[in-house]
Amino acid sequence: MGTGDVIRFLTRTRGRGRLHWSDWLTYAYLILSLLVVVLPIMWMFLSSVKSPAALVENDPRILPYTQLTVPSPTGGRDQNVFVHTRTDGSTVDVAFVGPRGVNARVYELGKPDTVFEVPRTSLARKEVVDPRWENYTEPTLGSTQSRTFNFLRYFWNSTFVTVMATLLTLIVNAMAGFALSKYKFRGRDAMALTIVATLLIPPTVILVPLFMTVSSLGMLNSLWGVIIPTIATPTGVFLLRQYMLTIPDELLEAARMDAASEWKIFWRIILPLALPALSVLAILSVMWRWNDFMWPLIVLTQSEVFTLQLGLSTFKGELNDNMHYLLAMTVLTLLPVTLVFVFLQKHITSGIANTGLK
Amino acid sequence: MQVRPQAAFEWLWKTAGDVLDGPMRALQRHIGAHRMAYVFLLPNLLVFGLFSFWPMILNFYIAFTGGQSVILADRPLVGLDNFRELLACPSYLDPRTCGVAGYSFWTGLWNTLFFALVQVPLMIVVALATALILNRDIRARGFWRAVYFYPVMLSPVVVAVIWDWILKRRGILNAALEKAVETWNAIAPTFLMMADYRAINWLIDARSGWPMFWVIFVYTWAHLGFYMLILLAGLQAIPRDLYEAAQMDGTSKSRQFWRITLPLLMPTMIVVLVLSLIRAFQVFDEVYVLTGGGPGQATKMMIQHIYESAFIGDAKRYGIAAASSVLVALLLMVLTFLQLAVTRKKAGN
């Protein structure tokens, strides 16, 4: 496809022929905001495979450059490779042996016996693009270098909390939604209203009593202390109740004729039919629990029970030069929600747009 | 034999239901079918009661107690002492004149108020502009919607790490600005040349307003997509024929916006306003990880004050934290009612 085709493709409008000036403004806005949204995330992805040296220097280049090194002929540390520009303008690759005054002692690659001196200003680093995947593998595969950040443990804790809390959220809220939509009993509407009213209690302002309750139940520093208080969400009850109201009562009556128990009706008829609403709640719950920060911060104080978010923030707060691990682990932390988003994007955006809840 | 995941899942589903069916059936025989409603409600009410309603009542009680114990029985009643300590201030506008707890409280309160009053209007305007643009006849609308929404999926910690990395003194933003000034000076005529760029410590420079600026920016960056999505749904619910009729009458685009779009979008706007304001008053995660409330106390928010009073340091002042929560809850309630009253009055006219 030639450039002409590309331009024609991009400027094609639906039936209007030429682009109006406001269309240009629209696309300018879109592209500018695309940069603001995407560039920061891209920059972290790109930075996460850079070498520790490049990160300490804050190398602003996009690709992960590292300086070439060669093994020392005498068996010491690896030697850095530079490009030496001779006075006549020709260049040669040299290995750096050591400094001497303003000069550097170097030898031509392949000829380690003839060490000579050149001015340091004539040397430029010989660099290659070399993504450093060790940033990812070392903390995850248990290298000794990252004792402060036990990624696998945090990952497991986060996964456990997310999966358990989501399963319990679905079951507990579906049961309540079922009771509030398919039974008639005294105080039903008052109860539904009370549950929705808890949306008005900001969880942040009951931190202290919630902490004391969880503490008196012996759930501090236990993952269950993070899971249990979050499983009854007014959002979930509301969402499921509204959905279940649309399921015709005749289905339930027919099942009761066949002597199905109430539980069986719930499990075999209501749950499968409420699957669309359940999946919206499941996605929301996964997002909430995986990203949760404040509540785990209060309940979990020992690093063995940290979730990923806690581990990351602690690791970030420590004054250390482990930026290369921090960035790589941040990428791994956002990966699950990103995958969920990529595959379920339509469900998420339409689900949230329809319910107006996050 | 090949195991299909769907079949395996269905089998698991059936078995789990059947296992629980035994006890549930027995229970139903015992109490009768219509009372099963209470059984279905029970788990939810237990959790709500224990972890929402009971703490709410408890919070009032704790606000009137002192000491450092987490055990209620060991906490002495101190009457209004906690509130007195928070509110006894020669001047609320200058938190430095208050006691230790009052200083922390009022600093957090003023910072949060400032944050909310700048962040909420800013975000609503940008979210509305973005929603209006996505509501136009553009290519790949789904893609753009996804782009704006993606940051909403990221955790506060991830957001803070991303931006901290960009805003470091020797980070990419300073490098880019330096390069831009350099390039400009290379091509600009002499009288338009700029002074050499000096790297700014965006999140640490205490004398400038930059830390608060970036806190507002980053928070807006992370949450914009959510409100944009709700506004977009609101826009798409406006019937097309209204615009077509207006077009036929020769109504100008701007008049269409003020007379059709905005009035019909009002209910959605109110939802967005209430939600975003309530959330802005409870801002904590992003700011806490990004700046830790610093430099000094420049970005310390209300919830951070509550969190630190109760959980950080040697003196665990649960009473002060609970009393602050009561005051915040009051503030949020007043705000919500004010908003509802104002909007109802407007709707009535």
pLDDT digits (tens, 9 = 90+) for A304-336: 899 999 988 888 877 666 788 888 888 988 988
- Are B224 and B153 in contact by the 8 Å Cβ rule? The answer is no
Q: Which domains does chain A have, with CATH numbers?
A: 3-47 (no CATH), 65-129 (2.30.30), 140-355 (1.10.3720.10)
Q: Residue A142 has what pLDDT?
A: 66
Phi, psi at residue B235, to the nearest 5°? -65, -40
In angstroms, the separation between the Cα of residue A113 and the nearest Cα of chain B is 40
Query: Which DSSP string corresponds to B213-273?
Result: HHHHHHHHHHHHHHHHHHHHHHHHTS-HHHHHHHHHTT--HHHHIIIIIHHHHHHHHHHHH
Give the pLDDT score at A63.
80
Quick check: A60 and B56 CB within 8 A?
no
Query: Which of the residue ranges A12-16, A29-33, B345-349 would you say has the lowest mean pLDDT?
Result: A12-16
> CB-CB: which of A14, A43, A316 is closest to B137?
A14
The radius of gyration of chain B from alpha carbons, rounded to an integer in Å, stands at 27
Size of interface A-B (CB pairs under 8 A): 275
Lowest mean pLDDT among A10-14, A72-76, A98-102, A304-308: A10-14
Chain Cα centroid distance, residue A274:
29
- Please give the residue of chain A at the shortest CA–CA distance from B236: A353
> Quick count: other Cβ atoms within 10 Å of Cβ B342?
11
Distance separating alpha carbons of residues B286 and B220, to the nearest angstrom? 11
Given an 8 Å threshold on Cβ–Cβ distance, is A211 in contact with B171? Answer: no
Of the candidates A33, A195, A293, the beta carbon closest to that of B156 is on A293
Ranges under pLDDT 50 in chain B: 349
Rounded-to-integer distance, Cα B213 and Cα B160, Å: 14
Instruction: Report which of A207, A228, A208 is spatially closest to residue A217, judged by C-alpha positions.
Output: A228
d(CA A251, CA B122): 50
Contact A91, A101 (CB under 8 A): no
Question: Using a CB-CB distance cutoff of 8 angstroms, which residues of chain A are in contact with residue B72?
Answer: 212
Chain B residues 65-94 with a CB less than 8 Å from chain A: 70-72
**Structure token digits, residue B309:** 């009073």
pLDDT of A56 > 80? The answer is no
| B154 to A334: CB separation less than 8 angstroms, yes or no | yes
Peptide bond preceding B295: is omega within 30 degrees of 0, i.e. cis? yes
* Reported ipTM: 0.85
Given a cut of 70, whether residue A16 has pLDDT beyond it is no
- Note whether A216 contacts B148, CB cutoff 8 Å: no
Within 8 A of B230 by CB-CB distance, chain A residues are 352-353, 356
Which pLDDT value is given to residue B314? 79
* Per-residue CA distances from B33 to A183, A258, A268, A353 (Å): 10, 14, 17, 37
Out of B52, B155, B292, name the one closest to residue A290 (CB).
B155
Nearest to A232 among B21, B48, B62 (CB): B48
The number of CA neighbours under 13 Å toward the Cβ of A46 is: 17
How far is the alpha carbon of B276 from chain A, nearest alpha carbon, in Å? 11
Q: What does the pLDDT read at residue B349?
A: 47
What does the pLDDT average to over A51-78? 78
Q: A178 — contact with chain B (CB < 8 Å)?
A: yes
Residue A47 has pLDDT above 60, yes or no: yes
A160 has a chain B CB within 8 A of its CB: no
Residue with the bigger pLDDT between A198 and B24: it is B24
Helix runs in chain B, H state only: 5-31, 36-48, 54-63, 81-87, 100-134, 141-153, 156-167, 172-187, 210-236, 240-248, 253-256, 262-281, 285-290, 302-311, 318-348
> Most A CBs within 10 Å: which of B153, B277, B279, B304, as the mutation test of the A interface?
B153
pLDDT for the residue B2: 62
Q: Do A312 and B230 touch (CB under 8 A)?
A: no
Please check whether residue B158 touches A, CB under 8 A: yes
Contact A206 B55 (CB under 8 A): yes
**Which chain A residues are closer than 8 Å to B17 by Cβ?**
263-264, 267-268
pLDDT higher at A353 or B50: B50
Q: Is A307 strand, coil or helix?
A: coil
Distance (Å, whole) CA B244 – CA B238:
12
User: Which of A263, A289, A318 is most worth mutating to test chain B (most B CB atoms within 10 A of its CB)?
Assistant: A263
**Among partner residues B142, B168, B285, which is closest to A293 by beta-carbon distance?**
B285
Distance from C-alpha of B105 to C-alpha of B317, rounded to nearest angstrom: 13
For the beta carbon of residue B103, count every other beta carbon within 10 angstroms.
Answer: 17
Q: How far is B8 from chain A (nearest CA, A)?
A: 16
The pLDDT value given to residue A355: 61
What mean pLDDT do residues A220-232 have?
92
Inter-chain touch B148–A231, beta carbons under 8 Å: no
Q: In this structure, which amino acid lies at residue B144?
A: W
pLDDT value of residue A176: 93
* Interface test with chain A among B40, B45, B288, by most A beta carbons within 10 Å: B40
Taking each helix axis as running N to C, give the angle between helix B156-167 and helix B210-236, from 0 to 180 degrees, rounded to the nearest 10: 130
Residue B288, min C-alpha distance to chain A (Å): 10
Q: Which residues contact B346 (CB under 8 A, 6 or more apart)?
A: none
| DSSP label at residue B197 | P
Residue found by looking up tokens 């880019």 in the block: B176
Of B144, B155, B284, the CB nearest to A333: B155
Quick check: A40 and B53 CB within 8 A?
no
Distance from CA of A59 to the nearest CA of B (A): 8
Candidate from A172, A205, A290 with C-beta closest to B44:
A172
pLDDT score for A1: 43
DSSP secondary structure string for all residues of A133-196 = THHHHHHHTT-GGGTT--HHHHHHHHHHHHHHHHHHHHHHHHHHHHHHHH---TTHHHHHHHHH
Q: Domain B103-157+210-348 maps to which CATH number in 1.10.10.10, 3.30.497.10, 1.10.3720.10, 3.40.50.150?
A: 1.10.3720.10
Q: Is A8 on the interface with B (CB under 8 A)?
A: no
In A66-125, the residues whose Cβ lies within 8 Å of chain B are none
Asked if A334's CB is within 8 angstroms of B325's CB, the reply is no
CB < 8 Å from A in window 273-302 of B: 278, 282, 284-285, 289, 292
Inter-chain residue contact A175 with B20, CB threshold 8 Å = no
| Residue-wise pLDDT tens digits, A240-292 | 998 899 889 888 888 888 888 899 999 988 999 998 889 888 888 998 899 99
Neighbour count for residue B27 (Cβ, 10 Å):
16
Rounded CA gap, A197 and A186, in Å? Answer: 19
Please judge whether A33 and B130 are an interchain contact, meaning their C-beta atoms are less than 8 angstroms apart. Answer: yes
Cβ-based contacts of B54 with chain A (< 8 Å): 209, 213
Average pLDDT over every residue of A335-354: 79
Pairing mode, if any, of strands A115-119 and A123-125? unpaired
Residues 239-278 of A with CB under 8 A from B: 256, 261-264, 266-268
Phi then psi for A300, rounded to 5 degrees?
-105, 115
List CB contacts (< 8 A) between B232 and chain A.
Answer: 353
Which pLDDT does position B346 carry in this prediction? 63
Separation between Cα atoms, residue B16 and residue B39, nearest integer Å: 18
The predicted structure's pLDDT at residue A223 = 92
